[in-house]
Structure 1
């Protein structure tokens, strides 16, 4: 088993976990398994009809550098068109007017994600993410990722990298501020894992997410449930990077030769 590291950051991202097209299109507060597998699948050029179970062996660990600010966008669909080109009704006709939706986003959020799986799978996925068939997006096509997006295509111990090596982004003014509770110069962040961590699990909170992709088919999307564990951990203060130096430190980290 090996891992790769992704940094999911940008002006906007949205990780929906409910109905495909409700009046309110939500976002989860962190990248969903369905969204991450969809991102990987698109990079590999796989159509929606392909079975996502090929990715069942992948495991995701999310470090929440910055949770972002919830933003709601008032959005209309189908306005200004003839009735026969507007949104369909449940009775099979056409609504004849614009459909109003409210779409939620995470503004200026930052997540670092470790993707772990069989060596051959990680090597193939890493190559695809560096030269994607379809451009990656953070939950929705309008949400492009910042660079560097792929931090490392192969790491031996993702826990060590996330806890001690990958630079941390500065929090927003309203976010949880750096804490000294765990010792001088530490920074407190949340982690989300798909299995209970071996160390520091006494504060783990169990969560349930309905985001396991069973089918991505346009007319038959199906998702299952999974269990997640959220922990809050103190990371070394040396990981913290001020905005002016963050990009340089991330590039330096991405270009380092893996031991």
Structure 2
């Protein structure tokens, strides 16, 4: 087994979990499994009709560098056009009226994700993410990721990398601050795992999410439930990087693995 590391950061992200178009498009507070597998399968050039359960053996660990701020964006679809150019209503009619939608986003959120799987599978996915068939996005096509996006591949111990090596984004002014432990040089950071941490570190909260993809088919999307474990763990305060220094530190980290 081996891993690769993705850094998911950008002005906006949206990881829909529950609501259906058109009334409300929600977002989970973290990257969903369906969103991450969708990102990977798009990079590999797979169509929506292909079975996403091919990725069932992948394991995801999410480090929450910055949870972001929930943003609700007001949209209208149609309106002011002839009936044959206006969106249909929920009842199947077409009255020429605008359809109101509200789309939720995470603004200024940052996550680092370890993707773990069989060596050949991670090698193939890493190559696709370096030269994607379709451009990656953070839950929606309008949400482009910042660089660096793919931090590293060929990681043998992703937990150690996330806990001790990958630079940690400092919060913006006004954001929820990482909690510094009194009398120590550590900060408290949240993780989301698909299994409890092997060493039993941190306080563990059991969660569930309806984000296990069964089908991405446009007319038959199906998602199952999965269990998650949220932990709050102490990381070295030295990982915190100020905004002016963060990009350089991330690039230096990524280049350490380059031959």
Q: TM class, shorter-chain normalised?
A: over 0.9
Match of 1:173 in 2: 173
> Counterparts in 2 of 1:51-90, with a 5 A limit?
51-90=51-90
Query: Residue 241 of structure 2: SS of its match in structure 1?
Result: coil
- C-alpha distance in structure 1 between counterparts of 2:170 and 2:99, whole Å: 39
TM-score w.r.t. the length of structure 1 is: 0.96
Query: Residue 192 of structure 1: SS of its match in structure 2?
Result: strand
Match of 2:186 in 1: 186
Query: Residue 161 of structure 1: SS of its match in structure 2?
Result: helix
Match of 1:149 in 2: 149
Query: Residue 251 of structure 1: SS of its match in structure 2?
Result: helix
Match of 2:124 in 1: 124
Match of 1:208 in 2: 208
Deviation at 1:3, TM superposition (A): 0.3
Query: Residue 204 of structure 1: SS of its match in structure 2?
Result: strand
- C-alpha distance in structure 2 between counterparts of 1:79 and 1:65, whole Å: 41
Match of 2:46 in 1: 46
Deviation at 1:90, TM superposition (A): 4.2
- C-alpha distance in structure 2 between counterparts of 1:68 and 1:224, whole Å: 26
- C-alpha distance in structure 1 between counterparts of 2:64 and 2:242, whole Å: 17
- C-alpha distance in structure 2 between counterparts of 1:68 and 1:15, whole Å: 13
The reply on whether 1:114 has 2:140 as its aligned counterpart is no
What is the CA deviation profile of residues 167-216 of structure 1, one whole-angstrom value per residue up to 9, with x for unaligned ones? 00011334342433275221111000000112244610000100001000
- C-alpha distance in structure 2 between counterparts of 1:189 and 1:114, whole Å: 15
Count residues with an aligned counterpart.
259
Deviation at 1:239, TM superposition (A): 0.6
- C-alpha distance in structure 2 between counterparts of 1:13 and 1:115, whole Å: 19
RMSD (CA atoms): 1.6
